Every structure is written in structure tokens, then in C-alpha cells.
Structure 1
């Protein structure tokens, strides 16, 4: 590692004398390089954190438990691959045909092959107490043949041989206080059956930390799964002398349609949440890490530009006494090499802390299991080091170009005043991006449907870049229009603040521009989320008309048998079961096809509007039978679906169907964008249950009396409970619930880095005015007057950042709201707005005030003779 760094330094800076000169410059101007160091160190921390998450997703996971005795675990393909590197995980378990077990067993090198079945169950003791798995994990039922995959051994009693016999793992039996001969009820879905405990199974050496195991006869396990001709996975043991990798290749070559897993990947099959987490961590960390690399380059380049601008007299003098452009490039490059090397190394330690902090947010959002291991290797540190050094060298080269190309005669004169004009390329890009952004957000240029909302949200980047390019012009205009209103000209400090802002608008805009960009990004994130949440809540409240909602206390769902039980209760008018899953819609897009994931629900069409009013736009939801589908307006516009036509749909377990579109509706945000027949959805969920059941009372029925009647009818279903409309919103569904937390995490990290850059820039630009403050004091200005002057400048910076930041937010938010709700008025969170304004004021005012006090510490007589 050390040898590599030495070679990298020699490669980036060819001559050691440049390093020596650069080190002397850094020691003499420590303050000028602190800003660059901070920007690089913060960038290194973020890149390191993303690298650690990425490597953890690629190489770690959760150690298998019940499959710990296997050499290879075989499963179906659990993902739909959009391309060679991008996948979408199916929300339900994809199963295998049971006849694959015999085919695998016949492959040379296979000692044994066992088909495994998972059935989620609830264990209810004789006193009515429900016992779950360790630390809240579930309990699964399996066929006894699957016990060999652990391997499990019978410690007490015997193996199950009859349909009503069961063996419990030792930990579950101890927590439930059960022993051989006891009677226990197992609830599958909502149906409870009594079993006799005939044995206690001892788990494999590692024990069971993420589940509890219940073993039945193989035939009973197949019956309870509802899929007697399917298995969830196949566990394989290798013959003596055959390696796992070699055996996996043999099996996949001989038996098509199988995916082989070895080592830690076996846990992905045993625990679907681990595989989901692995995919999500890899995708999100790679995407966000790439974005952060670009942001780091931009911030580092901006910081270096300010640093070089503060040294323009020094650099101009070097040009005037004969320094060549190449020598200027070499000197700045050497400085950046040393600063970036130090900053990258220092930022790695907080990067580790940040990675574990991000892991906790993933866990909080239910996007990562708590026992998902983190991998801290040398690759993320090396990547962070290289990226930071390359970014710094690139930024140094960009800011050195202007100084290096000026002729020696013009150098000193050019350094005396602040440049007023922007480069024509920068100006053209900034101006042209504004109408382009408006076209994408406020016109019909974007694809309709959710693509319009997505495009509007993405268009914020165009406005952010535009603000970055023409920020000095916008800032100069704000000073001309609002400057006198922000600072009274009748006072000395107000006059000085206004005059300084006009004369040094380029310098102040360097600080105000990134602040405005941060305001824009924060506002779009906060107000975009509030618009979506408010619309979803409004649609749910307006469309949900059920009086009672039945859900499962165990989280396993409600069995279809419960629907028949409550339909016969006196006073019940309509019963609507609701199943949930995620589906994939594939549709033509330009010259190819696109695939998107949508939340789907399965309902029965009989008097659906009495319990759930979807606000039908076209067609009739009463036709939701067989292979049919109803789509929300947003999705119908996105996939160009028409009534009577079919769409390409992949259900939660990967089954491909082509349902006919029978209706479109408006309330997709509240109830799901895809509505299918209930039996179709239930048949393709892992547990084959409903998420909830909606019950509408008949006219004139007393709701309290009906509540009691429902509870009486549900006595034989111990896990089903009766609730109100709020229970429907909290009923179990498939995915997406933690997306807001992950979005908030990444936006917080991004905005946090931008905040560091803003504070960094403000402190650098203010602290560099030591001689200016000293001169003002020597001609009679009091320290309080100078601080008041800087407060005036802070008002201008803060006002300009908020003004242009919020203005840049308006078009994307209007476009998002129009695309999602057909209303151009977004829902603006007052609390969110107050927080954004407060943070902006604190960052700008606090940074300027702190730097001003620091710059005024030296005595004026001493400071006036110091360096610029």
C-alpha cells in the first residue's frame, strides 16, 4: 500500500523539487490550503463509506443456518435482470418444480439432493400464548427430510411420522415450555391446527439466530405450502473429493433453470431479505457513490478556484518575473497532490464511521437485516485515495489554466481587480439550461405518467447546474435590485456592505452559489416528498369506505377462508379481500423496452366501490376477473395502455402474464398503481394470503354490534384481529415502505457535504480579508461597525441564496405535482420550509460571523503589513 502511494505520487508529480516547493508554499500559507484540505477530507469520507457499503454488498451477507450442512444450494432466479449489471428482485419467493430434485441427484458428484419447503407458521401454546422466533424473527415449518440440510438431529423423542406430529427445534421448545407429548397449535395463514410434539431437534453447531424451525412430515409440509408440486430450494451435499465450485458448474450445466449458490451466498436463498438487501446495497451505494464523485470534483474545483483567486497577486508576480505556464501548472499540481493525499487519508477514518451510520439507517428502513455484516477491506480506501487525488489534480489543472495563460505583462494588472465577465462557454451553458429545464418540467416534452414526474424531479439538476454557471450574474442582479432594501444606505456599515457587495460580487457569489444549490436540492427533496405523501393520504381517506378492517396480528396475513367466515355475519353488506405484492411492467420505450416496478393489489370486483373507491376514469372494475388488470392513470399514461389491450406483466413470483386492461383509475397513490383479481395475486404470493379484508356494514347496522359479531365469528382464527380504517394503511405489503428513509439518508449525506463546502467557502473568503479589515480600522472604523458591515453582506448572501434556490425549485415541483396529481400546486411543508430557511441562515450568518472574528484578531498595524 505504501509503495503504491509512493508510485502514485511520483506519477502525479514527476519532479521531487516541485513537491519540495509545494510543501514550502503550503507551510507558508496554511490558512489558504485548509479549505481545500477540508473539502477533500469530507469527500474522502463519503466515498470511503459508499465503497465499504458496496464491497459489503458484493462479498458479505448472513451465514446460512439451516443450510449450513450443504455444499451447494440451488434456487430459481430470484431477480429480473434489466441488463447485465442491473436487476430487480422479485417480491415473492420464486419456487422450483419438485421433479428438479431427482434430476439434480443424478448429476455426477452429488451425494444427496433434498428439496426444502418453507411455510411460515405461528406457534400457539395451550394457554393461548403465541411464541415467535428469536429476536422477533419468524417461525418456519419444513418437511422432515429438510432436517438433513442443517443437519438437525433428534435429541429427545423421534421424527414425525403422522400428519398430526411435529418436531420443534430445541430453542423454540424451551421458550414455549413444550416437551414431547405436549399439544401445540400451529397457525398457517389464519388456520389453526393441533399437533402433538413427538421430538426435540438439536440444531447444527451454529444454532438458529434468525428463525425457529418446526418439522412435520414431508407430505404434511407440502400440503400446508399449497404447492405440492413445488419446492423452495434444493440442498446438495457433494461426494468426497468434489469441490463446491466444480459441483455448482456441473449441476447448472446438466439441469437448466437453476441458480447455484455456494459459501455465504447460500444465506441469500435461505433468507430472502438478505438477498434483497445485498442487491439494494450494491445498487444504491454504487449509484450514490458515483454521484458523490462528481459532486466532490465540483466542490474541490470550486474551493481551489477560490484559493487560487486569493493568491492571484502572488501568481501574477511569478508570471511577471518569468515563470512559465508549465511551471505554474506543476507548482499548483504539486500543492494539490500533497493536500489531496493528506485529506484523503484523514477522511478515511470518519468514512468508516459514516459507513456504519448509513448501515443503521438501512436497518431502520427495513432495507437491511440487523445481522448483515460489513466488509472493511483495502479496496474502498484505495479507491477513495485515487479518486480524491485525481479530483484534486483535475480541479487544480482547471483553476491553473486562467493564471497560466495570461501574459507576464498583463498578469499584475489583471490581478489588481476582480474579473467581471464570465466565460462565454459557461454563460451559454447556464442560460440554455433554463429553457431546457422548463421544457422538461412544464411542457409535454417529457413522457407522460410517472415518467413526467420523474423527469421533473431529475430536471432540478439542470437548474442547479444553471445556477452554478450564471450565479455571479444572478448575484449581481440581486444586489442591484434588493441591495438597498437589505442594507440602509444612511448608515456607515450599510453603505460599506452595499459597496463591497457591488465591487466584489464575484467573490460573494462564490459563497452564495453553492448555498443556493443546496437550498434547491433540499427543497425539491422535502417538498417533493410532502407532495407525494399528502396526495397519497388524501386519496386513501377519500377512497376507503370500509367500516371495519381485518388484519393479522402475526404479520403472516389473512387466509381466504376468513372472507367466507365473515360474509355470513349478520349486518355485513360487502366483504373485499385485499392482497398485495410488487409487479414488474414491461412496455415499449423509444427504440427498445423499459421495465418498472409498481405496487399492486388484488381485490374482488363485487361492489368494490362500496369498500374501496378507486375513482374510475375509464372502463369498469367489475370486469376484474381472470387475467385482467386495472391501471392507475399515471401508469396507463406511462405504458401507453388502452382499454381492451393487454400489457406485459411479471407477478411477484416471476410468473409472466398478459392481462387485458379493463379500467383506469385516479387513486393510484393511495391504493396502488396496479389492481388485479384477488385470486390471481393470492396464488402468486409466498404465503398465499391476503394483507387485509375490508368489511362494509349494511345500512342501519349498529357498528359496535357488528364489531362484536365479527370478533365472535373470528374466534377460531387466533391471529386475525378487527380494526378500523387506520389498520388498512399499516397492513403488511411488499416493499417500498423504507424508501423514504433511504432517500432521506442519501439526501442528508449529499446536503451535509454541500453544507461543509458552503461553510468552507464562506470561511475562506471572509478570513482572507484580514488586510481589508485592518485598513478599515486604521482609517477610523470600529470593530462593531466592521462586524455590522459583514452582517449586511451576510444578509445579501442569505437572501440571494434563498431567492434563487427556491426559484429554481418551483418548476420541478410544479412538474412533479402535475404528473402525479394533475394539480400544478405542490404541497409545501411549512415545517420543512422553516427548517431550510433556518439552516441556510445558520450556515451563512454563522460562518461569516465566525470568520470575521477570526480575521480581526491580529492588531490592525500588524495585519496591514501581512500577506493577502
Structure 2
């Protein structure tokens, strides 16, 4: 059977080309997604400062949730300062060095650097090039790149607060500064805490064994060896790995379903065009089992070869994605991906199983039908879709439409938005099942409207009805592409527009004050005394972890949070209060966005437990619910609560309300007492990109990649369906049809396909978009930029029309008699 299948493939390369292309590109996408997942689990960057350490010890920086995924805390979880001494007593440890890292700057913020304790200098790569180590609290060792000679006084700014230090030494290497260990912990704001412990092992000690002994001797810590040490050094490495895991599983699931649908549709169409061949096999006594085996073997051979070859560009695509994600700030620039064999195995197996299943389903009628009936059906398609297929399609369409619109009305919060977004997949599957029926209905509508006129129009409508299965299979990816492109792009535009509007309407401050590395609380007090300043509201940003029940399951997710002071908050910030009182935001209280309150299932007066930035469990009473969660974060806490549980203990900005007539120039000059402060216009603050916009950009990038695959599939399938009609075109020409009439007929068919794709795709996108907009903004009208929608329509016209018109011209090139002899 393998030999027969191989000869068939070689003899009918055109029939299998489309299936090969679909599997090839599908395998590339699956491989790329698998590389993202594997990299999130095993990849990272090489350690720098901790490269000389055998083991790096930290507190637990994440929690394991009920679904098995890890969620990282919003900030670094510190260790007690005496942890280093306890680790030093473990057998095999030569030295245990407690380390802290503090962001600072020189010269009014123009030279940023990181401050450490001197004992950590032995970890490298810093090396003393002149002078001596610091011995007293007012002494400092600076990077030589700062250009400050030994003996000079410098102003070290932490949180825009300058402190004088005398330079006693310089180092070459990293842009860093070193104080005494005690002073470094003091300026960190946590004198009894350290960030990590770098362990130097005795000669011959095994790193893994030593790490295990440390974890047994000092409960509550976690250890890292090898490249995992970088995760203890750079918090964004762990966040990037978590992001890759979440993104690859969420996007990969959607992508896998689309790839499987496209591969199944393409392979099914390839088998449909060979109905005459299977009919002849049945007529010459081939058994259904033999036909099944032939189809399965052909599908397996084509899928295996195409999937294996497609995995190679899949690796290249994954590394292009790595560069794009680094540009968007989703992963560190030095983050390396891991390219192992598992993604290839997964891609080949997924494509192979899909091809086998699609081939057997598409060929079941050819295998089971009687030989006489098979020859009769070889020329004419079955007139109706199967009842089960129709019922399933209409049920999915009804459920998808109802879920998209009604879920945000009956359920609040994140589950409603997620459910509305998921309804798009149900509608896409419904379109795939009902494609032939929907295409026939479109042709009938265009006929009633008089748009399919004259002989060419009549033939186009008749062909659409007679070949609805083949044309439906070809048009389905185009309809699916329009629907998914609309949902993905307009969800992003709706979210961005709502966030931008909330920030623009919510910022009432006259000025925004920022500083490199953050702003100390003492600076906010000093700014309040500046003439013309009526109120100052410090803002500290972080994220919190909240556990809640979703569909009877415990779910833990991270949410953006801000810390503000309640005093005169309304003068600088309007959070669109819905209920409660923001003036009560003091002590153990919290305010939530409307979406977050619905997601967590709490309201004003009820308690909410969360994990703060440093992992501390915190229970607070909800005192207010507001509407501007997209613009300002889902969780708002008292400023002192946020500062007490962040590593820097610094605010991100100050919102200023000034007296009428206050001169901005005079205000800027008054702030020069703190050289690191910068005075900005609130409009610049509103326009600044945030984490939500970066996430939106990543989602758009990934969905454009998926839409690119759908575009390839559209061209692939439409070309296949059109090129298979050589005999039909030849027969029409033999009975008197002229080439221009055939081209007009194909333009009519192309019009039906394009109108169906744009109309049905847009209709399928409406329920999820309305539901998403309703859940996010309270309005059922999403933000749809006209140019973006026209771009989707233009792409549908370009791909649909071009993929039918061009192969039709090629198919009409042979002389009619020669085409009839060649067969299909």
C-alpha cells in the first residue's frame, strides 16, 4: 500500500500540493509555538554578577497555582539579613555573601548606576583599579566610567534625594557603586533584609548537592545553579519565562485549532477532487477497507514529509519572534531561546494525526458508497450537507452568538470578557461546518439583488450551488480570516481606546513630577512646601496576586496595582467612582475596578485577600469601586502599604495640583533643589506607553502571525479549487462559451466568495466584539477604526479575487480538446 500511495502522490503532485503547503506552514507555526513554550520552561540568560557563585539563594519568588502554572510576585521577595550566616554554616560552603541592589544616579540623574555592598564585589565582574574599599558609612567606590577621581565628593541620588559620599576607590567593569555592607542595606530602605545570598563552594563540591543541602538546612529558601542563577539576579528573566509559558499555551491552543481546521479543510478538498478516481477504484472491486488504507497512507506520507520540513523554518520563526518580543519589552534583550527536539515531535504528531483524521473523514463516502453510485456521484456533488453537520453548525452558531452578547450582561468581570472572546472560536467552527450552505445563501441573495446578471452571472450562481461543498471548503478560511482579524484587531483597538480615554479624562493634575529610579517619600513632602503647589499625590506602581473562584475552580492571577494617598486625591485623579468612598482609602483598605470587583466576586464592605509585591499576604476591606481600571490599574491601595512592600520603597511619580496662575518656569526652578526631578505635562503622562499597551502589541503581533497563515491557506485552497476545474472550463468552451464569458463567470464566483467572506466574517465577529466592548467599557459599540476595517476588506478582496482569477486564466490556457483528454 505504501508503494501504491507513493506512486499516486508522484503522479498527482498537483492534487497533493495544497495539502503539503498547508501542513508545511502549519508545522512551522506549531514548532514556533513549541519553542516558545520550551524556552519559557528551560531558557534564560547567563548570570553576570553571580557568575562566580556556585549557588544563589533567594526567597520564593512565585507561587504555584491550582492549574499548575507559576505566578510571580510583583517585586522581589527579600531574605532576612542573618540568612547569609545560617547558609555559611552548611558543610561545603566556603563563603556566603549577602547582596543588595539599589538603583541610584549621579549628576542629577544623568549617570544611572546600581549600589551594592562591598563584600559582593568579589563576585565580579567589578575589579578595584585604584584606591581602597569603603570603610565608613560616608565612603564610596565608583565605576571608573563615572569620571570621578579618588578623593572627590559626589552626590549619590536615591529617589531624587542626594547624599554626599567621598570617593575612596574606583572599579572597572559594571556601572556600579559600592558602599559598606551596612550602609548599602540602609540606603535600600530595608536594613534587616537582603536580596539574595551568593554561595562560594569549597573545592570539589557539587553544585546540585550543595543546593539541596542548603534547602534542607535553611527551610523557606530556594536555590539556583547554572543559568538559573540569572533568574535570581534579574527579576525580569523569571517574569519573561512566565510570560512565554502563559502566552504560548494561550496562543498555542488557538493557533493549533486554526491550523488543524485549515489542514483538515485543505486535505478534504484535495480528496474531494479525486472522487472520480475513487469511484473507478470501487467499480473495479476495491474494498472500502482498501480505499481507506490508501487514503490514510497518502495522508500520512504527505503530512509526515511536510511537517518534518516545516519544522525547520519554524525554528527560524521562533527566533524572529524572540527579537520582536525583545523589541516590545516582553523579554530581556539577552534572553536566549531553547531549540530542542520536542517542538518538532509535537508538530509532526499533531499534523500527522490531523491529516489522518481529515483524510479518513473526507474519504468515508467514497469508501462506503456502492460502485455504481460512486460513478454517478463522481461528476456531481451530493446535494445536501449531512444532517448532523448542519445541526452541529447551527447549534454552535447560536451558542457562540448568544455567549458573545449575553455573557457580559449576566456575568461580570474577567470571565465575562474571556467568555465573549472565546465565542469567536465557536462561531469560526460553525462557519467551517456550514460553509457550503452559507455560500449558497450568499449566491441566492446576490441573485435576488440583481448583482449576478446575464449569462455569466447565471453560470456563476449555478456553479456556486452545484459545487457548494468545494467552494464552501475553499471560502471557509477566508471567512475565518476576516472574522478572526476583526475580533483580534478591534479588541485591541477597543481596549487601547478605552484605556487612553480613561487616562485622558482621569488625569486632573496640573503637572506630573518624575525622576530616574523613582521618588522618595521625603521628596513628596518637600514638594508640598514649594510655593504654588496646593496638593501632591504620590503614585507607586506594583502588581498583586489575587486568588478567586472561577467556574468552581481556584484561580490565581496578577493584577496591576497603584498606591496613592487619599487626601485630596480628587484634585489630581478621577477614577470614575461607581460606589463607595475613595477618601476612606487608608490603612487596611482597597479600591477595585468594576471589572476586578466582578472577577473577584466582592463589593464595597467585603474583605479581599491578596499577595503584595514582596509576597506578603494582605487582607483589606473594599471601600470603593471605580470604572477606570484599564487606564489606572485594577487595584488601588494606600500609598504607604505599597511602598512598604516594594524593593525600592520609592514612588513612580507625583501628581501636582497648583494654584491658579502658577508659572511652570518658576515651579521648575523651585524643584531644582532636587536635581533629579523632572516636571512633565499631564498630557505626556496620558500618552506614555504602559504595560497594557505593550501586552496589546504582543497579542497583535502573534495574531498577525496567525492571520498570515490563514492568508496563505486562503490562497492555497482557492487556487486548488479553481485549478481543478480544467475539464469544466474545456467543456464549456466546447459547447460555445468564449474565454471572456468564462472569465466573467469566474469574476461572478469570486464576487460571491468575497462578499460571503466579508459579510459572514463581519457578522461572526460582531457578537464577540460587542460582548468584549460591553465587558470592558459598558458600551456594546466597539472601537472600529474605519481604515483598519477597510484594510481587512481590501485584504479579503485581494486574496479571494486574485486566488480565483489568476488560476482560472491559467486553467483556460490549454486547448479544450487537450484539456478534456488530460482529465483532472
TM-score (norm 2): 0.96
Moved more, 808-817 or 343-352: 343-352
Equivalence for 1:30 = 13
Equivalence for 1:59 = 42
Report how far residue 847 of structure 1 moved.
Answer: 0.8
| Unmatched 5+ stretches in structure 2 | none
Paired residues of 1:774 and 1:863 also in contact (CA < 8 A):
yes
Report how far residue 151 of structure 1 moved.
Answer: 6.2
3-state SS of 2:672 partner: coil
Q: Distance in 2 between matches of 1:627 and 1:642?
A: 15
1:702 to 651, 661, 672: 661
Paired residues of 1:450 and 1:638 also in contact (CA < 8 A):
yes
**Residue-by-residue CA offset, 1:184-241 (whole Å, 9 max, x unaligned):** 33221111223222222355xxxx5xxx221111111011100011110111112233
Equivalence for 1:15 = none
3-state SS of 1:658 partner: strand
Equivalence for 2:289 = 326
Q: Distance in 2 between matches of 1:625 and 1:398?
A: 64
1:146 matches 2:120: yes
Q: Distance in 2 between matches of 1:232 and 1:753?
A: 45
2:758 to 777, 797, 802: 802
Q: Distance in 2 between matches of 1:286 and 1:643?
A: 35
2:440 to 476, 496, 501: 476
1:266 to 229, 234, 238: 229
Equivalence for 2:483 = 520
3-state SS of 1:586 partner: strand
Structure 1 segments (4+ residues) deviating >6 Å: none
Paired residues of 1:440 and 1:446 also in contact (CA < 8 A):
no
1:717 matches 2:674: yes
User: For this pair of structures, how many residues does the alignment match?
Assistant: 823
Equivalence for 2:780 = 824
3-state SS of 1:828 partner: coil
Q: Distance in 1 between matches of 2:804 and 2:682?
A: 52
**Residue-by-residue CA offset, 1:529-553 (whole Å, 9 max, x unaligned):** 121122222222222111111112x
Equivalence for 1:121 = 104
Paired residues of 1:301 and 1:398 also in contact (CA < 8 A):
no
Equivalence for 1:163 = 137
Q: Distance in 2 between matches of 1:202 and 1:593?
A: 51
1:42 matches 2:1: no
Report how far residue 843 of structure 1 moved.
Answer: 0.8
Q: Distance in 1 between matches of 2:772 and 2:311?
A: 38
3-state SS of 2:77 partner: coil
- C-alpha distance 317-825 of structure 1, shift in aligned 2 (>3 A): same
Equivalence for 2:736 = 780
- C-alpha distance 595-286 of structure 1, shift in aligned 2 (>3 A): closer
Q: Distance in 2 between matches of 1:710 and 1:574?
A: 14
Equivalence for 1:538 = 501
Equivalence for 2:593 = 632
Moved more, 578-587 or 178-187: 178-187
User: Where in structure 2 are the equivalents of 1:534-573 lying within 5 Å?
Assistant: 534-552=497-515, 554=516, 556-573=517-534
- C-alpha distance 842-48 of structure 1, shift in aligned 2 (>3 A): same
Equivalence for 1:12 = none
**Residue-by-residue CA offset, 1:703-729 (whole Å, 9 max, x unaligned):** 4x1x12321232132221111112323
1:93 to 60, 66, 76: 76
1:449 matches 2:410: no
Report how far residue 353 of structure 1 moved.
Answer: 2.2
Paired residues of 2:545 and 2:559 also in contact (CA < 8 A):
yes
1:418 matches 2:401: no
Report how far residue 484 of structure 1 moved.
Answer: 4.6
**Residue-by-residue CA offset, 1:123-155 (whole Å, 9 max, x unaligned):** 32xxx68224xxxxxx21100011122364423
1:668 matches 2:632: no
- C-alpha distance 592-862 of structure 1, shift in aligned 2 (>3 A): closer
- C-alpha distance 129-656 of structure 1, shift in aligned 2 (>3 A): closer
Report how far residue 43 of structure 1 moved.
Answer: 0.9
Report how far residue 486 of structure 1 moved.
Answer: 6.4
3-state SS of 1:652 partner: coil
- C-alpha distance 591-54 of structure 1, shift in aligned 2 (>3 A): closer
Q: Distance in 2 between matches of 1:483 and 1:361?
A: 47
2:548 to 583, 587, 592: 587
Report how far residue 409 of structure 1 moved.
Answer: 3.1
* RMSD after superposition: 1.9
TM-score (norm 1): 0.92
2:582 to 621, 627, 630: 621
Q: Distance in 1 between matches of 2:201 and 2:809?
A: 73
1:220 matches 2:183: yes
3-state SS of 2:432 partner: helix
3-state SS of 1:865 partner: helix
Moved more, 218-227 or 234-243: 234-243
- C-alpha distance 751-166 of structure 1, shift in aligned 2 (>3 A): same
Q: Distance in 1 between matches of 2:626 and 2:345?
A: 52
**Residue-by-residue CA offset, 1:92-122 (whole Å, 9 max, x unaligned):** 1111111222221122222211110010111
- C-alpha distance 390-591 of structure 1, shift in aligned 2 (>3 A): closer
Report how far residue 380 of structure 1 moved.
Answer: 2.7
Q: Distance in 1 between matches of 2:221 and 2:139?
A: 33
| Unmatched 5+ stretches in structure 1 | 1-17, 133-138
Equivalence for 1:299 = 262
Equivalence for 1:364 = 327
Equivalence for 1:135 = none
3-state SS of 1:349 partner: helix
- C-alpha distance 738-299 of structure 1, shift in aligned 2 (>3 A): same
Equivalence for 1:74 = 57
3-state SS of 1:416 partner: coil
Equivalence for 1:399 = 362
Paired residues of 2:383 and 2:466 also in contact (CA < 8 A):
no
Q: Distance in 2 between matches of 1:361 and 1:462?
A: 30
Q: Distance in 2 between matches of 1:689 and 1:728?
A: 18
- C-alpha distance 411-271 of structure 1, shift in aligned 2 (>3 A): same
Equivalence for 2:219 = 256
Equivalence for 1:188 = 158
Q: Distance in 1 between matches of 2:345 and 2:5?
A: 24
Paired residues of 1:632 and 1:667 also in contact (CA < 8 A):
yes
1:790 matches 2:773: no
Q: Distance in 2 between matches of 1:731 and 1:603?
A: 19
1:131 to 111, 116, 132: 111
1:509 matches 2:479: no
Paired residues of 1:296 and 1:391 also in contact (CA < 8 A):
no
1:834 matches 2:797: no
Q: Distance in 2 between matches of 1:533 and 1:266?
A: 37
Report how far residue 732 of structure 1 moved.
Answer: 8.7
Report how far residue 159 of structure 1 moved.
Answer: 0.7
1:201 matches 2:171: yes
Q: Distance in 1 between matches of 2:574 and 2:533?
A: 18
Report how far residue 590 of structure 1 moved.
Answer: 4.6
